[in-house]
A = this chain, B = another copy of it.
């Protein structure tokens, strides 16, 4: 079983970086529509999406926000982090099958609260920024090494 570990407040330094990537597949887009409740046709209906400003289906902006939080929760600081605040500006659309990489960088540390300010930038496979902002996170003070939970198999019926 793979392990998850964290970077404690004391181990974090200004300028420290981490990254996390995910492919925005068709199947995951359907799951995101289900969990967010956002069934907007610009995400789900190719014919309608072709008539919009974007010319084709786009992934939900909040999905990019979700993998930013995934990067924080798994990579830096990782397990034991408490998510306090997030701001994100969406600068470019994400298309189906784009590979999005979240790059994190520690900007500030606040010793009293053990909070860190993290720069968050999401870029696509062409290196173009799709979202940028900052997160404020209470970093863990204790080192954790945990079993990585495995998710059950998820199946999506073919939409005929």
Note all chain B residues with C-beta closer than 8 A to A65: 62, 65-66, 69, 86
Dominant SS among interface residues on chain A: mixed
CB distance from A2 to the nearest CB of B (A): 10
Residues of B within 8 A of A30 (CB): 151-152, 154
Contact call A84/B90, Cβ cutoff below 8 A: yes
* Option from B22, B66, B155 in Cβ contact (under 8 Å) with A32: B66
Q: Which of A34, A37, A52, A149 has the most CB of B within 10 A?
A: A37
In chain A, positions 33-92 with a C-beta closer than 8 Å to chain B are: 33-42, 44-45, 48, 52-53, 60-63, 65-71, 73-74, 79-80, 82-90
- Complex interface: chain B residues within 8 A of A73 (CB): 38, 40, 60
A4-48 residues with Cβ-Cβ distance < 8 A to B are: 4, 20, 22, 28, 30-42, 44-45, 48
For A53, what are the chain B residues with a Cβ–Cβ distance below 8 Å?
Answer: 82
Alpha-carbon separation in the docked complex, A147 to B48 (Å): 10
* Chain B nearest CB, measured from A153 CB (Å): 4
For residue A113, CB closer than 8 A to chain B, the reply is no
Other than the given A33-B151, A42-B79, A85-B87, 7 more pairs (CB < 8 A) read A30-B152, A45-B147, A61-B69, A62-B62, A65-B65, A85-B89, A86-B90
Q: 3 closest Cβ contacts across the A-B interface? A: A62-B69, A87-B87, A36-B66
Interface residues of A (CB under 8 A from B): 4, 20, 22, 28, 30-42, 44-45, 48, 52-53, 60-63, 65-71, 73-74, 79-80, 82-90, 133, 146-159
